Amino acid sequence: MSAIFGTAGEVMIYLDHSATTPVDPRVAEAMKPYLTESFGNPSSIYRAGQDVRMAVEQARETIAALLGARPKEIIFTSGGTESDNTAIKGLALKRGSGHIVTSAIEHPAVLNVVKWLEKNGFTATYVPVGSDGVVDPGEVRKALKPDTVIISVMHANNEVGTIQPIEEIASIAKEARIPFHTDAVQTAGKLPLDVGGMGIDLLSLSAHKFYGPKGIGVLYAGQGIRFEPCVHGGHQEWGKRGGTENVPGIVGLGKAAEIAMGEMQADELRVRALRDKLEAGLADRISDIDFNGHREKRLGGVANVCIRYVEGEAMLLRLDYHGIAASSGSACTSGSLEPSHVLLAIGIPAEIAHSSLRFSLGKGNSQEDIDKVLEVLPPIVEKLRSMSAFPR
């Protein structure tokens, strides 16, 4: 992919692909007609509508192929958050009451749904993770209750990149006859997925994490899985998600899936090699640096580090000054910096969690980008440490 430009037109070294990805130009090209001349409503019976319907159904088939699913099991949504809501809330509300099992390191799109359900009469268990950020399937088994209605464990974590043993968790779910949902927002289009072979009943994905547009995603729901729709409305998506389809988004998602099927394996190997060089270079140049998450069981593009005695946000601002975009584990909530719940869950003390940085690499990154980070970050750390009020 070509260079990425910041809002002021400057070249940016973009190392935040877990947050979002640039739209692949081939995706933008595929979407264009559906933003201009092909504007029909796919529910209209005249030709201009039916042509658009065909484009929607073609995209559905491509997504089904990406997941090893049937087209009828693909429901288009507005993104990962809505898919997670529909899977968990939809299933829980269909049952009316019961217990939910999830992990302590889920994205807020899952955690806050489960918390909402707790406020509305459901109970929940948040399974802990080990210091490597991996969920122990044995803990999932232990958490099950006679009234457990759903198990939801993410495929890969968005902060540390750890890949969870979802096949093992799915088989525990199957044995207990409990539907299993996985949030695959960080893995769809990056790692091979096969819902049948992996035992997944419900899966969430989002186009903007793999070079598609924002505001479009999918909920895969296997045949026979019953849930209450989150968006009631028209008959669209077989009544499972009302609302006129986001046609340009759906076409873009289909194109992104098609590209991913051809390129994800090579991309994963390439970003993994770059990420490993970045980590090795940081370890050589910066003292008191910790690398978070399981060393092998994690996404190839993600490096999550804690650089002790320096605020993550302070490093980010200085990296930004040098045209480098990354992210930190602290989220700014109502004016205060909250340490990442994921880093806390893997046992990192709050003061160290505040010193975290996440680099997430993607298609457009090159060795020069890594060299630039390795040139720029060590002096930033040195400078900040010399001014730091952190106890050492």
Where does this chain bind ligand PLP (CB under 6 A)? 79-81, 84, 107, 109, 154, 158, 183, 185-186, 206, 217
Q: Which residue is nearest to ligand PLP (CB)?
A: 80
Report in angstroms how near the CB of residue 108 gets to ligand PLP at its nearest. 8
Catalytic site residue 306? no
Q: In 3D, which of 223, 226, 188 has the Cα closest to residue 71?
A: 223
Q: State both tokens at 195.
A: 């819902």
What angle, 0 to 180 degrees and rounded to 10, lies between the N-to-C axes of helices 47-67 and 247-285?
30
Report in angstroms how near the CB of residue 386 gets to ligand PLP at its nearest. 34
CB nearer to ligand PLP: give 246 or 289: 246
Q: Which of 3, 48, 269, 332 is catalytic?
A: 332
Report in angstroms how near the CB of residue 20 gets to ligand PLP at its nearest. 8
CB nearer to ligand PLP: give 80 or 189: 80
CB nearer to ligand PLP: give 21 or 158: 158
Report in angstroms how near the CB of residue 46 gets to ligand PLP at its nearest. 33
Evaluate whether 291 touches 131 at the Cβ level (below 8 Å).
Answer: no
Report in angstroms how near the CB of residue 189 gets to ligand PLP at its nearest. 13
CB nearer to ligand PLP: give 185 or 384: 185
Catalytic positions, please?
A: 332
